[in-house]
Amino acid sequence: MHLCIYLDAFDPSYVTEVLGTVPTSTCQKGRTVTNSLGLVRTNPLNAWFLSSEPVVLSKEFRLHMDWMLDQIHPLQGKIQALRDDGVQNFKLNCYWWSASGYGGPILEPDQISRLADLALDCFFSFSYYGLDDD
């Protein structure tokens, strides 16, 4: 799970300064990066990311969501300060992989309430890694 904050007019270090939280990673507009396949690209925008993956070792979705909300819910006023300064693109990207093609993540009422407090979009990406039916 990743909190993604995309910025047009600010360097990612501005988000770190306002939130008082160290990001998992950042992207700086115009910087060229090489991916694991050797492909080179230029970052089209500035971005600041906080990920649960290095900290929450479980595959249980709710544990990742709880950890993320525990980190960012207390920053509600600081997130609003970023919005007041013109930073408008906040997303919580959630990934879920299925071994069987069934089921899915569950958002609990407390989690929904805390997401609403933050006025935070929650984006889900679903993948199926099941076995062939042959």
Q: Locate the domains of the chain by residue range.
A: 2-128
pLDDT above 90: residue 134:
no
Label residue 100 by pLDDT band (50, 70, 90). confident
Give the integer Cα–Cα distance in Å for 23 and 5.
10
What one-letter code names the amino acid at 13? S
Q: What is the pLDDT of residue 98?
A: 72
pLDDT digits (tens, 9 = 90+) for 22-47: 999 999 999 998 988 999 999 999 99
Label residue 104 by pLDDT band (50, 70, 90). confident
Indicate the SS3 state at residue 93.
strand
pTM of the model: 0.86
